[in-house]
Amino acid sequence: MLLSNVVTSAIRHFEASSTTSIVPNPLTLLDPVPSDIAIASAQKPKLISQVASELNLSHAEFEPYGKYTAKVTLDVLERLESNSNGHYVVVTGISPTPLGEGKSTVTIGLTQAIYAHLNRPAFACVRQPSQGPTFGIKGGAAGGGYSQVTPMTSMNLHLTGDIHAITAANNLVAAAVDARYFHESTQTDSQLFNRLCPKKKGARKFANVMLNRLQKLGISITNPDDMSAEEVSRFVRLDIDQDKIMWRRVTDTNDRFLREITIGEASTERGMARKTGFDISVASEIMAVLALTTSLSDMRERLGRMVVALSKQGEPITCDDIGITGALTVLMKDAINPTLMQTLEGSPVFVHAGPFANIAHGNSSIVADRIALKLVGAPAGEPVTAENAGYVVTEAGFGADIGFEKFVNIKCRASGLVPDVAVIVATIRALKMHGGGPDVVPGKPLADEYTQENLELLRKGFANLRRHIENVNKVGIQAIVAINAFSSDTEAELELVRQLACEAGAYDAVPTHLWAKGGAGAVELAKS
């Protein structure tokens, strides 16, 4: 009897730990819609410990950063390994105007609709915004109106420090490259060897990363004292070509005067000045590595393979060659864990990584998507159905011609995940611009063509959306168009886009009002 009770209790605990709770945070909608910050300030979030509890995370699987954010460890993947993944939805968009067409707003609002209005488990996965655009014209990336990640100020600023960790790691690489060039230019082979392999208690020993370099050089010696003078020289000298150092420093600020700089001007650098510059932190290759990594060991390998310069012989020089991969991994050990937040209506959100789509793949992290899919997935042994599995809505940056194609060709190939459907965000405004409408300029009022009905411009501009639908269908993924509707859009314009989209191969085209109504404004999209 006692053993039977233990088994029954264990089964109940297992079943409970494999399911999530849905506890919406109701919105009070106002008209006119207040500012984003006013909406965010008026809506009190759930404590992050409550959100974690609703997801059945154990105390060992999340680490709170204040009351409303937390890091979730990769241990969750091991615990839920046998669970099936939930339904996978990717949100992309047409070629945008400079104002943006609301992909983040649709991503958040759609998640709120599934979670708070259809009563199904739902998880949003979005990128962390850079402080550059946040303090520039574009603004933050927490969504907008009544479809936001909250607290928006935390998300748009430091959050849990991932971008700061990337900045520190990136600039450590830059410092190490310049220091290595300096020392090789000023010291003998013997001096360099003594620095790299100093005697400790009368013996020298190679570090593991040095063994990798020796293997790369074709040197099979494992005892440093057995090396010939020629082998020592090859080992200690990377022979960096100063004109072929391609690694730049970064800062997470739009500081145009740092784009091109001269370093090494101090007298102690002995005339080794060179021109270089700063990029924005999210443009660092380390950010792309973070987004594509699948584990801590995988991240270490990817960091070690990063090419930082060329030798005078034209050979690539990597972080492993410099010998700093371990230090980079230590700096990034917490950043690899996705940050748990929530939407205004209480659905969970992972905010993780932030690579730009024009210089990288422009998608949030693989580990965030994987953890979310397991948390809302079907219990072990059960087939995935509409009833027993939830939804993960992940955002692909920029338009479908950049973010989505890189999502498919880079992220999905690295993760092995395949989306069930792609949501293409479009606006009447953007379609009119693509049809030949006047330029849309941030900070300037929209021309009359964008605020009055104009079916001719809309029909011409639909060619842009048609191509995006075709691109999605080409890879075997079903496309649904989410029309992010504005108050100036007419019923005739919305109906024309719906009709043309379905003719072009979209499963459906649904007007949404997520900015003004939150999840309630995307229920029909969620149902489709």
**Residues annotated as catalytic (active site), given as ranges:** 103, 105, 127, 138, 357, 398, 486, 515
Helix pair 285-292, 162-186: axis angle to 10 deg: 130
What is the CB neighbour count within 10 angstroms for residue 298? 16
CA distance linking residue 223 with residue 231, whole number of Å: 12
DSSP string, 104-145: HHHHHHHHHIIIIIS---EEEEEPPPPHHHHTSSS---SEET
How many angstroms separate the Cα of 85 from the Cα of each of 188, 246, 373, 430, 475?
57, 40, 5, 35, 21
CA distance linking residue 229 with residue 215, whole number of Å: 17
DSSP string, 407-420: IIIIIHHHH----S
CA distance linking residue 523 with residue 251, whole number of Å: 41
CA distance linking residue 103 with residue 259, whole number of Å: 29
Alpha helices in 249-361 (DSSP H): 285-292, 296-305, 319-322, 325-332
What's the residue count for the chain?
528
Among candidates 51, 281, 296, which has minimal Cα distance to 162?
281
What is the CB neighbour count within 10 angstroms for residue 380? 12
Query: How many Cα atoms are found within 13 Å in the side-chain-facing hemisphere of 44?
Result: 1
Handedness of CA 359, 361, 362, 367 (dihedral sign): negative
CA distance linking residue 399 with residue 91, whole number of Å: 10
In sequence order, the β-bridge partners of residue 144 are 147
Using the structure block, give the residue that is written with the tokens 């759930």: 46
